[in-house]
Amino acid sequence: MSQPDFSHDGIRTARGTAFRYLFMLCALLSILTTVAIILTLLVDAVDFFAQVSLVDFLTGTRWSPTNEPIAFGVLPLISGTLVITIGSAMVALPIGLLTAIYLSEYASDRRRAYLKPALEVLAGVPTVVYGYFALVYVTPAIDAILPVDLSTFNALSASIMVGIMIIPMVSSISEDAMSAVPDSLRQASYGLGATKFTVSTSVVVPAALSGIFSSFILALSRAIGETMIVAIAAGQTPRMIDLTDPAGMFLDSIQPMTSAMVQIGTGDIVGQGPAYKSLFAVGLTLFVITFVMNLISELVASRYREVYR
Amino acid sequence: MAADTGETPADGFGRVSRTKDVVFRLLALAATLIGIVSLAALLLNVAVDAVGWLDWQFLTNPPHPNPYEAGFLPALVGSIAIMLMIALVTFPLGVGAAVYLEEYANDGYLTRFIQLNIANLAGVPSVVYGLLGLGLFVGLFNIGYGNVLAAAFTIALLILPIVIISAQEAIRAVPDSQRQASYGMGATKWQTIRNVVLPRAMPGIMTGTILALGRAIGETAPLIMIAAPTTVFGLPNSFFSKVSAMPLQIYNWASYPQTEFQYGVVAAGVVTLLVVLLTINSIAIVIRNRYQQRT
């Protein structure tokens, strides 16, 4: 979009150059932000790892930053995050994918015009509100309906709420990918006598697979980083989970990484002890996981853009 | 899609099933509605619970351990103060970055790197931005724990990528013919940006920025990380006043075990927060619609 600058008026050119550099500075601020995030996390995490060994942190199965015996194993927190991620994925991925298929293949333009903003609202509600909903409405409702022994703080209602929150991420990006599938592919399939169901599931979804995959990763990355819902509704019990025991995973209190950070952040821990510094070590772990996922999502998405545009 | 001519059709190709088609259509529609309907039901619940609690006294009182005297005013004013500061910081920076990327930058490695970086920043969890605020503004710059300035700067960095991306879209939507016309009149690049591109893109930029502010007002985790107090009794009167915010106060109240708090005071707080959020988003939509009518 850059245009040749034909003016040779010295003062005006000087002013134009000044603005150019000013604007460039604004754009470079974003890179500075990333550098600052990495440095902030690293500096304090390095301090932390001087006191607690990296191996103990990454392989320890007990997390107890303030109560004796002190332990800084991050695995129970990663377990908690995993439970929320699996739970919210079971809600958001199928619902989001079906929503995208409906919006892209079935809905009329008029219906799509009000369904899409309505879905976006799901992502716009403050997460603290979802957390409150999970705690005071969803948990009692599930407890009343299902014949299970549900704790006041549990992973189930928290993951359902996180799942509902990330539905629009899955549906909007998947729908973009499905809309980018050339109409000729659909027409060819209809010409063979296929129904809309067959066209959607056997032609459109496979053709849009990389976009759908990218939306899944991005949504799960959002679920991993989600903080307030789990801090309010999922509890503060860091524990290892058993993947073969779904009831044990979901019906009781757990503690994901983000929730542990909030607990340290709201506590009265001051000074430079390992409990305070562990905040940055967990933060760094969270940042690395979500950063890698976002990057993969971006790379996968840019691949499908090249195919059809 | 491989064509299996003359042999057994794969994937049900060739066998037309109307029932399956109708069932799938309904299933997809149900999936589309389930999130919206669940949220509507929850909102209805909270609105009903807030009745009798959300009154003038609630909006004008400071917080109180007695649920019947508890109020929301310091949190409400705190949120608005933080939001105004955020707007002052993000608007110039966001527009500046967008102008650079859309009007000045060539399509080189640096530009693509900045673009990828902005997309990635938009996906960094908000709690991590809280740690950035804690390390940078509270630690390095020594602004102080949990005051208006630290809160505003931290959340400003969080929403900056969103502001930049939406401002870029608004600038990209300005037709190139208008730029060419401006150059044809002998205008410089800066004159073209100031007199043609920015005025034309302004409604879109405003809409995007205001929507981002709506996101900012609901942020809680970064405030917790920079140690903003969950409960404040006085109104902020300087940049360095300790400040609470609506979502933070709601988080604090939600942990109170009394029913009067869980199904009364918090419900009133949630409804207040959502009404403020709705007002902000309506302003954005009004600006967008007025702009659309003019063109």
Nearest-angstrom CA–CA distance, A96 and A98: 6
- The burial class, CB within 10 Å (0-12 / 13-18 / 19+), for A118 is middle
Q: Are residues A154 and A34 in the same domain?
A: no
Q: Which of A89-103, B17-31, B250-264 has the highest mean pLDDT?
A: A89-103
Per-residue pLDDT tens for B198-251? 998 988 898 889 989 988 999 989 998 887 777 777 777 777 777 788 999 899
Nearest CA in chain A to B23: A197
pLDDT confidence tier of residue B5, bands split at 50, 70 and 90: very low
| Chain A interface test: which of B72, B117, B131, B174 (most A C-beta within 10 Å) | B131
Q: Are residues A267 and A204 in the same domain?
A: yes
Q: Are residues A92 and A178 in the same domain?
A: yes
Give the range of the structural domain holding residue A41, as residue numbers without chain letter. 10-51
Q: Which of A196, A198, A162, A199 is nearest to A181 (CA)?
A: A199
What is the predicted pLDDT for the residue at B259? Answer: 81
Q: Are residues A159 and A188 in the same domain?
A: yes
The reply to whether B61 falls in a domain is no
The reply to whether A251 falls in a domain is yes
A126 touches chain B (CB under 8 A): yes
* Mean pLDDT for all residues in chain B: 85
Q: How many domains, in total, are found in chain B? A: 1
The reply to whether A147 falls in a domain is yes
What is the predicted pLDDT for the residue at A187? Answer: 92
Of A137, A206, A279, which has the smallest distance from its Cβ to B131's Cβ?
Answer: A279
Q: Are residues A190 and A78 in the same domain?
A: yes
The reply to whether B22 falls in a domain is no
What is the predicted pLDDT for the residue at A268? Answer: 60
Nearest CA in chain B to A229: B251
What is the predicted pLDDT for the residue at B7? Answer: 47
Contact A121 B254 (CB under 8 A): no
Contact A31 B17 (CB under 8 A): no
Domain harbouring B127, CATH code: 1.10.3720.10
The reply to whether B176 falls in a domain is yes
Q: Are residues A46 and A67 in the same domain?
A: no
Q: Are residues A195 and A154 in the same domain?
A: yes
The reply to whether B251 falls in a domain is no
Q: Rounded to a whole number, what is the distance in Å from the CA of B159 to chain A's nearest CA?
A: 11
Number of neighbouring beta carbons within 10 Å of residue A303:
13
Asked if residue B6 has pLDDT above 50, the reply is no
Q: Are residues A47 and A84 in the same domain?
A: no
The reply to whether B154 falls in a domain is yes
What is the predicted pLDDT for the residue at B86? Answer: 94
Q: Rounded to a whole number, what is the distance in Å from the CA of B62 to chain A's nearest CA?
A: 21
Q: Are residues A168 and A264 in the same domain?
A: yes
Q: Are residues A76 and A192 in the same domain?
A: yes
Contact A1 B32 (CB under 8 A): no
Asked if residue B49 has pLDDT above 80, the reply is yes
Q: Is B52 left (phi over 0), alpha (psi -120 to 50) or beta?
A: left
What is the predicted pLDDT for the residue at B112? Answer: 86
The reply to whether B230 falls in a domain is yes
pLDDT along chain A (309 residues), means of 10: 53 76 87 92 90 86 81 89 93 95 91 88 91 91 85 90 94 90 90 88 90 92 93 86 80 88 77 80 93 88 65
Q: How many domains, in total, are found in chain A? A: 2
B17 residue type, one letter = S
What is the predicted pLDDT for the residue at B293? Answer: 53
The reply to whether A271 falls in a domain is yes
The reply to whether A276 falls in a domain is yes
A111 touches chain B (CB under 8 A): no
Give the range of the structural domain holding residue B231, as residue numbers without chain letter. 76-245
Residues 6+ apart with CB under 8 A from B3: none
The fraction of chain B above a pLDDT of 70, given in percent, is: 93
Contact A30 B117 (CB under 8 A): yes
ipTM over cut 0.85: yes
The reply to whether A34 falls in a domain is yes
pLDDT confidence tier of residue B1, bands split at 50, 70 and 90: very low
Per-residue pLDDT tens for B92-104? 999 999 999 998 8
Domain harbouring A228, CATH code: 1.10.3720.10
With beta carbons under 8 A apart, name residues in chain A contacting B227: 265
Asked if residue B4 has pLDDT above 60, the reply is no
Question: B159 or B62: whose pLDDT is higher?
Answer: B159
The reply to whether B153 falls in a domain is yes
Q: Are residues A89 and A131 in the same domain?
A: yes
Residues 6+ apart with CB under 8 A from A227: A127, A258, A259, A261, A262, B125, B126, B127, B220, B221
Nearest CA in chain A to B252: A232
Q: Are residues A34 and A70 in the same domain?
A: no
The reply to whether B53 falls in a domain is no
DSSP structure string for chain A: ---------HHHHHHHHHHHHHHHHHHHHHHHHHHHHHHHHHHHHHHHHHHS-HHHHHH---EESSSSSPEE-SHHHHHHHHHHHHHHHHHHHHHHHHHHHIIIIIS-HHHHHHHHHHHHHHHHS-HHHHHHHIIIIIHHHHHHHSSS---SS-HHHHHHHHHHHHHHHHHHHHHHHHHTS-HHHHHHHHHTT--HHHIIIIIIHHHTHHHHHHHHHHHHHHHHH--HHHHHHT-S------TT-HHHHHSS----HHHHHHHHHHS---SS-HHHHHHHHHHHHHHHHHHHHHHHHHHHHHHHHHHH-
The reply to whether A102 falls in a domain is yes
